[in-house]
Structure 1
Amino acid sequence: MFKFFLLPLLLSILWFAFLQYNDWSIQQGKKGFIYIIGGTTAMIAFFSLMIFLTQ
């Protein structure tokens, strides 16, 4: 279960590296961070619910 919480961290690091590579500011990539956090939160909630329901 702990590995699910590493996913947003890994995706955020990759997104930050992409922004730096293309010489964009964090402010320009703010929406991407919001999508990463929102999407992975929804995915973690879904998988947690499925684990709870199937055990």
Structure 2
Amino acid sequence: MIRILFLLPLILCFGWYYFLKVNGVPLKQGKRGFIYILAFSAFVLGFFVLMIHVTNPA
């Protein structure tokens, strides 16, 4: 699962981009959403990396 985690921000960003285009919102106005998506994805990735290091028996 950790191997495909890089897809999370890509899918969310594409979804946000589609939402902005469908609703006629300019990208400049929706920039904060991309920042939130990237921050959330970094948090999730950091959590999983921490859990791997904490639970590693070696």
TM class, shorter-chain normalised?
A: over 0.9
Q: Whose Rg is larger? A: 2
List runs of 5+ in structure 1 lacking aligned partners.
none
Q: Which residue of 1 is the match for residue 8 of structure 2? A: 7
Q: Which residue of 1 is the match for residue 41 of structure 2? A: 40
**TM superposition outliers: structure 1 runs of 4+ over 4 Å:** none
The alignment's TM-score, normalised by the length of structure 2, stands at 0.89
Q: Which residue of 2 is the match for residue 30 of structure 1? A: 31
**Comparing both structures, which one devotes a greater share of its residues to helix?**
1
Residue type matched to 1:27 in 2? K
List runs of 5+ in structure 2 lacking aligned partners.
none
Instruction: Tell me the matched-pair count.
Output: 55
Give SS of 1:48's match.
helix
